Structure formats: structure tokens, C-alpha cells
Amino acid sequence: MSTAEHDTPDLDAIVVGAGFSGLYMLHRLRDTLGLRAEVIESADDVGGTWYWNRYPGARCDSESYFYSYSDRLDEDLLQEWTWSERFAAQPEILRYLQTVAERFDLRRDIRFSTTVTAATWDEGGTRWIVDTSDGRRSSARYLITAVGCLSTTNLPDFPGRDSFRGKSYHTGQWPHEGVDFTGQRVAVIGTGATAVQAVPEIAEQAAHTYVFQRTPNYDIAGGNRPMTEADAKEIKSNYRDIWARTRETGFGFPYDIADRPARSVSDEERREIFEEAWARGGFRLGTTFNDLLLDADANSTAAEFLREKIRGVVRDPETAEKLSPRDHPFFTKRPPLENGYYETFNKDNVTLVGVRETPIDSITEKGVVVDGVEYEVDSIVFATGFDAMTGTLFRLNLTGRDGVTLKAKWEAGPRSYLGLTTNGFPNLFMLTGPQSPSVMSNMVVSIEQHVDWVTDCLRWLREQGRDRIENTLAAEDGWISHHDEVGAMTLLDQANSWWVGANIPGKTRRIYPYMGGVGVYKGLCDDVAAKGYEGFETS
Ligand code: FAD
Ligand code: N01
């Protein structure tokens, strides 16, 4: 297809998505490399996750001072911006991303309210042809997906779902004007990280809240609090060290994982260590011992500690037991951070409904039916998560070399090199793609690492006078076997989580994120680059 056939002039790069990834990518392409780039975004503004997830209680669970762009973007912004809370709420994070967009004048190269509906590799033209919901067709040398790991909502197909006469909401597509539940009977379906944030807030307003739980989680104390001036001063004077640490640790947090197994200390000492981590709040509990995610026995010590915490808060023993996970190890499903979730179940107007043994039968005009009981409600909140990691990539309808679609190629699970590229799809880069650390990390650190790596790669291609890059099948096979080997060393496969694709009926069960850790992964990527992009063919 020749350039003349395109409605818009050719670009050097098209980026899909304007969240943390797409914004930083655009800045690098345009301002570092001087390329002509455009971002295409379904929403009418920037923000990604933080544009869509406006449900009550939405906030981050990586601490805000490191859940933000690092000195790689702008050292001055780090000093100018002050987070108001330890874990900022959605409006503040959205404001931050809007500020970044304004500061770097990014919006002028973002096409909003436009969805990429298909993208096809044109071998003759060495370009991607991109179709969008506005009927336009664009083309670019490079296609970079910044579509997010958690951006396609999962709305289970409960029989009768659409017959419900009240209002229903998915947390990932929350109305911008907010929802007032005052005086209402509300059903919340799901008990993942989203529900754990939303339920206390909804229960504050609603006349009665029914929480439908299929799998209880190990929720950790969030410990959110306002940031003090002293906090901000200390953080701002230590930023260099903080970022250096986030890039080297396993999860991209500036916390080190203690170099000791759980059974290397006495029961009393372990308890004290857990208590101290619990009191500090956040994911520190997961860093107390180095074998919690590797050894079932070690893991059971943390699991029992967390069950005890539930029993300590929830007064009704039957409800406490129902809320206590027993069918999977700690951290094999993403542990939510809780700020008042368990306490909510001490309220008379909150009911926990187990739907593990007796799944939701149907949704009727009036409410939710479980085990022959109809729970009549005015509103239903679907906190049922996402078709994570691959769901949004498949919706791009990517067709690579020789007419092969990504969906067909990945039928038995993702196949990538470094989680960044895939054979048969030249000049395609997937930011935080499956088989990279992505969701197993503080994501902004992983996003920056991917964006910087892609930037360096494009610069190198230009210096070499080349404009086509594709990873070899051998490199891909090697990466997948390393990825799977590392994943198999963990307990991750012992739970039915979205990390293994188990939340979506029919989805291929695999470990989707890379489990080798952020620091190790960065080293491997750097090594590939240092060896002249080993594992890639270029022309
Ligand atoms: P996203 O923010 O998901 O942005 C992707 C964008 O791509 C979206 O705006 C979407 O509209 C757009 N898009 C997708 N497909 C198309 C298409 N076909 N055409 C056009 N546009 C398209 N991670 C952490 O590390 N720490 C946290 O504390 C944390 N908290 C979270 C809280 C919530 C409620 C959720 C849902 C996720 C959280 N995450 C957290 C993960 C979070 O998704 C990432 O941290 C980060 O925001 C992802 O940024 P992104 O730019 O890669 O993707
Ligand atoms: O989604 P989830 P989420 N019948 O998939 C249940 C990030 N995040 O939106 O566990 C009945 O975790 C499902 O049950 P089960 C974070 O990475 C971060 O809560 O599959 N129930 C589960 O309880 C997180 O992990 C924050 O048995 C059904 C729930 O719905 C990710 O986003 C906040 C069902 C879905 O939980 C996703 O979290 C929010 C069915 N048919 C999100 N189908 C922070 O705090 C699904 N469920 C930063």
C-alpha cells in the first residue's frame, strides 16, 4: 500500500494509549528522538487507569512518592510536586498525569476519543497501517502499544444480567459525575483490590450492602495517611537513592526483601517481624522473608498471620471464617490493601454472601439470585476485574507478517521476546507486555524501563541506517523457556488468579507476568542492547 492511499501523512510512530506508558513514550519519541509521533486514545483525556477507574475509594497501593515518574522524566517536577497522602486517591493521580501532559505539551499529539480497531503490517511499505473508530486510516514505521495490562473490563455473563431494572456499574468504567448510593440497597460482586477499596465507601452511604464473594483474599493493612511536610522533605532529598533502588529490587519498590527464610527465626521473632511490617502498612509484609512466594511452608506462616488479623477485626466468627482464604497461598492472588474493609463487616447493614459453593444463579429484574435466594437491590456494582494482559492487545486486531493475527499466534498463550516484541510482528513494541515484569512490579518503574529501552533501540536503528526490526523465533523460544522456568519456581500457579488468566472463562492458563524481578529483567534487557540487539534481525 503506498503512502498516497493513506488519509493522513505517514508518521514515524503511532502509540496506542495515553496513560503513564503512552505519555512518557510520546515525550521520548518527540522530544528525545525528534520523531513524528501520534498517540491514539479511546478516552477524551489522558490518564488511562486513572481516567477510567473513578469508583469510590480508588487509590494506588504503591506509595505515591514512587508511584510516579522518576528523574528520568523531570527532576524539577519531583521537587515541585507534593503528594497529599501516602497512597493518593484517583483524582490526585489523574491531576498529576494531566499536569505532566500540560508540562510537556503532549495533548497536541494525542488523538482522543478514538479507538484503534485494527492494525496490519505492510511488509512492502515497512509500516503499520492503523484503522481507527473515526474511520481514518493512518500509517507509521513503528507501532507501540501502551494499552495497559488492566484496561479491558471483565463483565461476567451472568444469566439475565441485562434484565436488571436498577442501575449497574463496572468499577473500571465509573460515571464521571459519581454515584450517590444514599438509602439504596447495593450489590457488590467481587472481592479483589477494587472491591476492597470500594466496599467501605459504598457501605458508608447505602442502606444495605451485599458483598458477593467467590474467593476471599489476604488483605493487608494499607496504612494510608496524609503526607507531612517532614515526609515530603525527606523523600525529596533522597530521590536519587529511591529511584536507584526501585530499579534494582524485585518488585520495583524501594524496599529490600530481607535475606532470610521464614523458618530461620523463631515463631516469636517471626511474629514480631510480621507485626512490625503490618504496622508500617502496604506491601512491606511481602518483603519480610525471601521464601514467602517460593516455599509453601514459609508461605503458610504469613497466611496464618493474616487470617489471625481477620479474626481480630471481624466480630462474627462465621463471617470471619468466610473472609479467611484457605484455598490458595498468600500473594498468589494480588493481595489488596485494606483501609477499613474488614471492619465494614461488623456493620449490621452489610452482608457477606459466599458464591464459591453456590455460584450466582442469575440476575433478575430485581437483583441477584444465589442458591435460590433473590437479593433485591437498587444497584449492582460489578467489581469483577479485567481481561488482563492480553485482552486489550487482542482487541487491537493486530495482523502481522504473512497475514497471521496476534490472536491466532497466541492461542496457546503469549509468545514474546522479553515481553516486548513477538516474531512475525516487525516494528511492534508492547510496553508492559505479557512475559515482562509489568503487573508484578510497581508499574511506573517497569513502564519507564520499557520506554527507555524502546527509545534506545529506535535511536540505534537510526544510527545503523535501518528501519525494520523483528526478534528471531529462537530468541523467543529461549525467552519463553526462561520465563516459564522462573515462574515454575514460584507458588503462583497454585491460585486461580488473573495473573494466570484464570478469571476469564476459556482463557489459556499460563503465568502471564515475568517472575524474575525488575532488577534482573532490566539487566537482561540491557545486555541484549549492549550486544547489538541480540536476538533481533534488522534491515
Ligand atoms: P493504562 O493506564 O491502562 O492506559 C492504557 C490506555 O490505553 C487507556 O487509556 C485505554 O483507553 C487506551 N487504549 C486501550 N486500547 C485502546 C485502543 N484500542 N485504542 C485507543 N486507546 C486504547 N499499578 C501499580 O504499580 N501500583 C498501583 O498502585 C496501581 N494501582 C492500580 C489501581 C487500579 C484501580 C488499577 C485498575 C490498576 C492499578 N495499577 C497499579 C496498574 C495500572 O494499570 C498501572 O500502574 C498504570 O496506570 C498503567 O499505565 P499504562 O499507561 O500502561 O496503561
Ligand atoms: O479485579 P480482580 P480487581 N462470579 O480480578 C470476582 C489492580 N488494582 O478490579 O477471585 C463471582 O482482582 C473475582 O472472584 P475470584 C490490582 O493489580 C489495584 O479487584 O476470581 N465473582 C474477584 O473477587 C488488582 O489485582 C488497586 O474468585 C466473580 C473479583 O471479581 C487488579 O487491578 C485497586 C466472577 C475480581 O477481582 C484487578 O483488581 C484496584 C463471577 N463470575 C485494582 N468473576 C490498588 O489498590 C469475577 N469475580 C492499587
Query: For atom 9 of ligand 1, which residue has the closest CA?
Result: 48
Please indicate whether residue 108 or residue 3 has the higher confidence score (pLDDT): 108
Cell of 196: 476492597
In this predicted structure, what is the pLDDT of residue 4?
Answer: 38
Given the CA of residue 497, which atom of ligand 2 is nearest to it?
20
Task: Provide mean pLDDT across the span 250-275.
Answer: 95
pLDDT in tens, 296-347: 999 999 999 999 999 999 999 999 999 999 999 999 999 999 999 999 999 9
- Cβ of residue 48 lying under 6 Å from some atom of ligand 1: yes
> Is ligand 1 within 6 A of the CB of residue 432?
yes
Residue with cell 493487608: 220
Among protein residues, the one with the nearest Cα to ligand 2's atom 29 is: 190
Set of cell numbers at residue 30: 518527540
Q: Indicate if ligand 1 lies below 6 Å from the C-beta of 449.
A: no
Question: Which residue of 443, 447, 499 sits with most ligand 1 atoms within 8 Å of its CB, as the best mutation to test the pocket?
Answer: 443
- Please determine, for residue 3, whether its predicted confidence score (pLDDT) is greater than 90: no
Could you tell me the end-to-end alpha-carbon distance of the chain, in angstroms, rounded to an integer? 20
- 114 C-alpha to ligand 1 centroid (Å): 17
- As given in the structure block, the three cell numbers for residue 506 are 476459556
pLDDT at 184: 98
Which atom belonging to ligand 1 lies closest to the Cα atom of 441?
A: 25
**Amino acid residing at 233:** K
Instruction: List pLDDT tens digits, range 440-470.
Output: 999 999 999 999 999 999 999 999 999 999 9
Task: Give residue 47's pLDDT.
Answer: 98
Q: What is the maximal distance between C-alpha atoms in the chain? A: 74
The partner residues of 188 in beta bridges, in order of sequence, read 211, 381
Beta-ladder partners of 280? none
Q: What is the pLDDT of residue 6?
A: 43
Distance 169 CA to ligand 2 centre (A): 15
Mutate to test the pocket of ligand 2, among 201, 503, 512 (most ligand atoms within 8 A of CB): 503
Using the mean position of ligand 1's atoms as its centre, give its distance from the Cα of residue 367 in Å: 31
pLDDT digits (tens, 9 = 90+) for 47-58: 999 999 999 999
Question: Is 50 exceeded by the pLDDT of residue 505?
Answer: yes
Q: Tell me what pLDDT residue 355 has.
A: 98
Mean pLDDT for the stretch of residues 387-393: 98
CA distances from 186 to 51, 359, 539 (A): 24, 18, 59
437 within 8 A of 521, measured Cβ to Cβ: yes
Q: How far apart are CA 72 and CA 208, in angstroms?
A: 48
Instruction: Calculate mean pLDDT across residues 120-131.
Output: 95
Indicate whether residue 438 lines ligand 1 (CB < 6 A): no
CB 502 within 8 A of CB 154: no
ipTM reported for the complex surpasses 0.95? yes
In contact, 17 and 49? CB cutoff 8 Å: no
CA 19 to centroid of ligand 1, rounded, Å = 6
The answer to whether the CB of 393 is under 6 A from ligand 1 is no
Match 458483598 to its residue by C-alpha cell: 211
Ligand 2 shell residues, CB under 6 Å: 60-61, 150, 156, 189-195, 197, 214-215, 334, 337, 355, 360, 383-386, 439, 498, 503
d(CA 522, CA 247): 8
Best probe residue, ligand 1, of 52, 87, 115, 151 (max atoms within 8 Å of C-beta)? 151
| Residue 152 in this model has a pLDDT that exceeds 90 | yes
Rounded Cα distance between 212 and 218, Å, is: 16
Cα–Cα dist 341/221, whole Å: 10
Ligand 1 pocket test: which of 65, 116, 147 has the largest number of ligand atoms within 8 Å of its C-beta?
147
Q: Locate 456 and state its grid cell.
A: 534506545
Ligand 2 pocket check: which of 155, 199, 214 to mutate, most ligand atoms within 8 Å of Cβ?
A: 214
> Given the CA of residue 386, which atom of ligand 1 is nearest to it?
36
Regarding the beta carbon of 22 and ligand 1, being less than 6 Å apart is answered: yes
Residue-wise pLDDT tens digits, 28-86 = 999 999 999 999 999 999 999 999 999 999 999 999 999 999 999 999 999 999 999 99
Q: What is the pLDDT of residue 35?
A: 98
Residue-level pLDDT at 10:
85
- Average pLDDT for the chain: 96
Ligand positioned closest to the Cα atom of 198: 2
pLDDT in tens, 191-208: 999 999 999 999 999 999
When pLDDT is averaged across residues 499-516 and rounded to a whole number, the result is 97
Q: How far apart, in whole angstroms, are the C-alpha atoms of residue 363 and residue 377?
A: 11
163-172 residue pLDDT tens = 999 999 999 9
Query: 377: pLDDT confidence band, cut at 50, 70 and 90?
Result: very high
Q: Average pLDDT, stretch 370-391? A: 98
Helix (H, G, I), strand (E, B) or coil at 122: strand
Higher pLDDT, 4 or 481: 481
Nearest atom in ligand 1 to the alpha carbon of residue 51 is 9
Task: Give the helix/strand (H/E) hosting 178.
Answer: none
Q: What is the mean pLDDT of residues 252-269?
A: 94
- Ligand 2 centroid, distance to 189 Cα (angstroms): 9
Mean pLDDT of 215-229: 95
356-378 average pLDDT score = 98
What pLDDT, on the 0 to 100 scale, is given for residue 282?
A: 86
Element (H, E) at 204: helix 193-205
Question: Computed from CA positions of residues 338, 343, 349, 350, in that sequence, does the dihedral angle turn out positive or negative?
Answer: positive
C-alpha distances in angstroms, 32 versus 36, 186, 241, 266, 455?
A: 11, 50, 24, 53, 8
